[in-house]
Amino acid sequence: MASDEFDLFVIGAGSGGVRAARMAAAQHGVRVAVADDAPLGGTCVNLGCIPKKLYSVAAHYAESFEESHGFGWSGTAPAFDWEVLKANRAREISRLNAIYARLLVDAGVEVLRGRARVVGPHAVEVDGRLHRARRIVVATGGRPVLPALPGAELAITSNEIFDLPQFPQHLLVVGGGYIACEFASIFRGLGAQVTQLYRGEQVLRGFDDDVRHFLAAEMGKKGVALRTRADVVRLERDAARVRAALADGSSVVADQVLYAVGRTPNTAGLGLQEMGVELSSNGAVIVDKHYRSNVASIHALGDVIDRLHLTPVALAEAMTLVDHLYGSGQREMDYALIATAVFTHPSVGTIGLSEQAARERLGAVRIFRTEFKALKHTLSGSSERTLMKLVVDAANDRVVGLHMVGAEAGETVQGFAVAMKAGATKAMFDATIGIHPTAAEEFVTMREPVMA
Which residues share a beta bridge with 246? 232
Contact, 156 vs 145, CB < 8 A?
Answer: no
Contact, 411 vs 421, CB < 8 A?
Answer: no
Catalytic: 131? no
Report which of 359, 360, 418 is spatially closest to residue 391, judged by C-alpha positions: 359
CA distance 93 to 99: 10
CA distance 37 to 127: 10
Report, in this order, helix, strand and coil percent for the chain, each rounded to 5: 35, 25, 40
Helices (H) and strands (E) in the chain, counts: 12, 21
Contact, 18 vs 105, CB < 8 A?
Answer: no
Q: Three-class SS of residue 451?
A: strand
CA distance 130 to 85: 42
Report which of 39, 79, 44, 73 is spatially closest to residue 61, judged by C-alpha positions: 79
Q: CA dihedral defined by 195, 196, 197, 198, rounded to 10 degrees?
A: -170
Residue count (the chain): 452
> 170, 309, 345, 436: which is the annotated catalytic residue?
436
Helix axes 15-22, 311-326, angle to 10 degrees: 30
Contact, 204 vs 228, CB < 8 A?
Answer: no
Helix axes 82-106, 15-22, angle to 10 degrees: 20
Q: Three-class SS of residue 240?
A: coil
CA distance 75 to 6: 62
Active site members? 436
